[in-house]
Chains A and B, each alone.
Chain A
């Protein structure tokens, strides 16, 4: 075997040329693609980089670009960043229709162009017009978002420290004083608090989904009282930070997302995602079609094909397996029926996750409101809580 030291300049050049040719060869399918769909996503909608099924079916490549989930991040990308001319589809946590539609950034979805739309029974069950879930995909009676992921959030706890917990009251129980963490998000933490206060009869809150200024102020006053009593250890801001709080046992009770518990469990921590008697904070991700008047009809057709693909069984099963969220009703069946693509273990995982999230939706709770009527008051009063 020749040693690396014996490779001369000519060999090196030959190697470099071969490498370039190989790279070029690998890129051929992309250059032969009919076009590219620019797909902005918050990190949940990526099926492990594998778009081959869609490319094979549509002839279009998918260029996945990461984007933030905060309203400002989304709007900054679409308006200031010239994203309207760049992106075709954005896949974010839904409920953002008001700012998106009022700024002419997205267009209504023609559901007749999505064959899988009719096969998605979750639409009728949870997201239909007249149901609270509609605000995740619709606005002013029109559909703007294609549901890609559904989930119900509660809180996690360490049973070795707390024993079993089944109420949001645990977040405010003096027994865990100084060992509780909340998410730094007024549409999750404050809404869960509102749900708790309403159910416990501690405050008059008509609708935790969309609180009035007075109701929200009551929630914040309660949180400030708790904060001053030393109930909370920290307010977390990122996935990794929350996982770290659980795995390091820095806190025993934490308002968080279920996948954080999956990660903690994979690290050997006995953490439980609570099944609170008050119900869950329900939410859905929505894929929006970006308003680009210069988009060709062919490109629009390809975009609809991608939206349809995202409502299909393979994509749904893949995302459920990777991210731990429920996607669409075809996903568990697809995973079970295609052992060459999904192992029995993976198929069981998809089925179990789907059943678990379905149960949450059946139990109910409150739907997260990403853009409540008094959103600015929410934001400024949340700042009051943080500054207190």
Chain B
């Protein structure tokens, strides 16, 4: 038995390996389980007590919050799809066309948004997109419009701009890793066998980069779905996503309702994660990352 030969080393290794498990359990699994449990609790006056009540879920289904949830899903899907359309060509260029040096510089530049406070970042957009903002001023000065274009800010368009600019950089990284890890010989073989670049893209590049695409989708969707600052700053008249409605229900101490909304969000995220896990071999994807880095 291994532990008898070197017990100290064996248990140290077990202890070390269990650290991430303990961390994830304590700071992720336990709070999430508690959230789900509280979502079934009953409200009594201003307090709540343990029970198995579906009242909070019924409130979500029957009230305006279902509309908010629906809108959050649609907006998150739209923002993720658009961001993917922008991120994929960028990632392809960085992984396949740019020099390693240039790619590194561009990737570092993509980390800059993470270093800027998200509120400042979104407020900066309002200065650009507002009625008296830079873009409208330029449009009017050039005579392209008679008056300011109102829908640039406080609109669906503005929310999409805010979400894409916030989460698209997150999506570039897994895509670069995924595309960069594809063996160049497959693409060359495809070309030698007479496939057009489009056919090569559809039948070789795209399928092989799917794990990266899915990872990018998760990165983008999770962020966009839970976003609360962008709709507040750029969304206009009461533009609310699910993150905002959770906060709002907590304002009146309706914790079971907030927990029910959070549980629904978590469940949607879990379905996404689970499908990623079931469809793609995550270890193979991580292996590709290591290969690409070496």
Contact of A234 among B64, B71, B237, B240 (CB under 8 A): B237
Question: Given A232, A244, A380, which contacts B123 in the complex, CB threshold below 8 Å?
Answer: A244
Q: Do the beta carbons of A102 and B236 come within 8 Å of each other?
A: no
Q: Are the C-beta atoms of B251 and A71 separated by less than 8 Å? A: yes
Q: A53-89 interface mask toward B, CB cutoff 8 Å, 1 = contact, 0 = none? A: 0000000000000000011100110000000000000
Contact A380 B253 (CB under 8 A): no
Q: Name the distance in Å between B218's Cβ and chain A's nearest Cβ.
A: 27
Residue in A75, A178, A227 whose beta carbon sits within 8 Å of that of B150 in the complex: A178
Shortest Cβ distance from B131 into A: residue = A250
CA distance A297 to B254 in the complex (A): 36
| A232 & B252 in contact (Cβ 8 Å cutoff) | no
Complex CA gap A71/B254 in Å reads 11
Point out the residues of chain B lying under 8 angstroms from A244, CB to CB: 123, 126
Closest partner residue, chain A, to B247 (CB atom): A72
Q: Is the CB of B64 within 8 A of A380?
A: yes
Can you list 20 contacts pairing A with B, beta carbon distance less than 8 Å?
Answer: A71-B251, A72-B251, A227-B237, A232-B236, A232-B237, A233-B236, A235-B237, A240-B123, A241-B123, A248-B130, A375-B252, A376-B254, A379-B254, A383-B63, A383-B68, A386-B237, A387-B65, A387-B67, A387-B71, A388-B64
- Chain B, 105-144, contact with A by CB distance < 8 Å: what is the 0/1 string? 0000000000000000001001100111100000000000
**What 0/1 pattern do residues 276 to 298 of A give for CB contact below 8 A with B?**
00000000000000000000000
Instruction: Verify if B249 is at the interface (C-beta below 8 Å from A).
Output: yes
Return chain B residues, CB-CB under 8 Å to A122. Answer: none
A99 within 8 A of B: yes
Q: Mark B57-70, 1 if CB is under 8 A from A, else 0.
A: 00100011101100
A384 touches B254 (CB 8 A): no
A103–B255 Cα distance when bound, in Å, is: 15
Known contacts A72-B253, A103-B47; decide if A383 and B154 are in contact (CB<8 Å): no
**CB <8 Å contact, B238 and A70:** no
Residues of B within 8 A of A349 (CB): none
Question: Is A275 an interface position by the 8 A CB rule?
Answer: no
Looking at A99, A233, A386, which has the most chain B CB atoms within 10 Å of its CB? A386
Q: Would you call A257 an interface residue if the criterion is a C-beta within 8 Å of the partner chain's C-beta atoms?
A: no
- The residues of B with any CB-CB pair to A shorter than 8 Å are 45-47, 59, 63-65, 67-68, 71, 123, 126-127, 130-133, 150, 153-154, 232-233, 236-240, 245, 247-254
Verify A386–B251 contact, CB threshold 8 A: no
Is B252 touching A379 in the complex (CB atoms < 8 A)? Answer: yes
Q: How far is the CB of A376 from chain B (nearest CB, A)?
A: 5
The answer to whether A383 touches B64 (Cβ under 8 A) is: yes
Query: How distant is B40 from chain A, measured CB to nearest CB, in Å?
Result: 19
Do A248 and B65 have beta carbons less than 8 Å apart?
A: no
A308 at interface by CB-CB < 8 Å: no
Chain A stretch 329-360: residues in CB contact (< 8 A) with chain B:
none
A187 CA / B24 CA spacing, docked (Å): 40
In angstroms, Cα B65 to Cα A265, docked, is 39
**A359-388: which residues lie under 8 A (CB-CB) from chain B?**
375-376, 378-380, 382-388
> Which residues of chain A are within 8 angstroms of B237 by Cβ–Cβ distance?
227, 232-235, 386
Question: How distant is the Cα of A378 from the Cα of B248 in the complex, in angstroms?
Answer: 11
In the complex, chain A residues whose CB is within 8 Å of the CB of B71: 387
Are A379 and B65 within 8 A (Cβ)?
no
Name the residue on B nearest A224 (C-beta): B238
Q: Which of A237, A375, A383, A387 contacts B232 (CB 8 A)?
A: A237
The verdict on A383 contacting B126 (CB below 8 Å), with A227-B238, A249-B131, A376-B252 known, is no
| Contact pick for A379, options B46, B232, B249, CB 8 Å | B249
B47–A234 touching, CB < 8 Å: no
In the complex, whether A184 has a CB less than 8 A from a CB of chain B is yes
B251 contacts A383, CB within 8 Å? Answer: no
- Closest B residue, CB atoms, query A382: B248
The smallest C-beta distance from A211 to any residue of chain B, in angstroms, reads 15
A102 in contact with B46 (CB, 8 Å): yes
Distance from A315 Cβ to chain B, minimum over Cβ atoms (Å): 30
Please tell me if the beta carbons of A387 and B238 are within 8 angstroms of each other in the complex.
Answer: yes
Judge whether A387 and B68 touch: CB under 8 Å.
Answer: yes
Beta-carbon contact of A99 and B238 below 8 Å? no
| CB <8 Å contact, B253 and A99 | yes
Cα A387 to Cα B66 in complex, Å, equals: 10
User: What's the Cα separation between A178 and B45 when bound, in Å?
Assistant: 40
How far apart are B265's CB and chain A's nearest CB, in angstroms? 16
- What's the nearest-Cβ distance from chain B to residue A19, in Å? 30
A384 touches B63 (CB 8 A): yes
Cβ distance B224 to chain A, nearest Cβ, rounded Å: 18
Q: Would you give the shortest CB distance from A233 to chain B, in whole angstroms?
A: 6
In the assembled complex, which residues on chain B have CB atoms less than 8 Å from the CB atom of A227? 237-238
Which residues of the partner chain A approach B123 to less than 8 Å between Cβ atoms?
240-241, 244
- Asked if A71 and B238 sit within 8 Å, CB to CB, the answer is no
The 3 closest A-B pairs by CB, nearest first: A386-B238, A384-B64, A72-B250
Q: Taking A235-B236, A249-B132, A250-B132 as given, write out 11 further A-B residue pairs in contact, using a Cβ cutoff of 8 Å, ordered by the A residue number.
A: A72-B251, A99-B46, A237-B233, A241-B233, A248-B133, A380-B63, A383-B248, A384-B64, A386-B68, A387-B65, A388-B238
What is the bound-complex CA distance between A199 and B59, given in angstroms? 34
When chains A and B are docked, how far (Å) is the Cα of A102 from the Cα of B46? 8
Which of the residues A103, A235, A376 comes within 8 Å of B238, measured between beta carbons?
A235
Knowing A233-B154, A244-B126, A248-B132, the reply to whether A379 touches B238 (Cβ < 8 A) is: no
B46 touches A387 (CB 8 A): no
Write the chain A residue with the least CB distance to B239: A386
A364 to chain B, nearest CB (A): 28
Choose one: B45, B127, B233, B253; the contact of A71 (CB below 8 Å).
Answer: B253
Query: Which chain B residue lies CB-closest to A98?
Result: B46
B154 touches A234 (CB 8 A): yes
Provide the residues of chain A in CB contact with B45, threshold 8 Å: 102
Alpha-carbon distance between A76 and B67 when the two chains are bound, in angstroms: 28
Task: List A contacts of B251 (CB < 8 A).
Answer: 70-72, 379
Residues of B within 8 A of A184 (CB): 232, 238
Q: State A184–B231 Cα separation when bound (angstroms).
A: 12
Chain A 7-35 against B: per-residue CB contact (8 Å), 1 yes, 0 no?
00000000000000000000000000000
Question: Could you tell me the distance between the alpha carbons of A379 and B238 in the complex, rounded to whole angstroms?
Answer: 13
* Complex CA–CA separation, A378 to B249 (angstroms): 11
In the bound assembly, the distance between CA atoms of A232 and B239 in angstroms comes to: 12
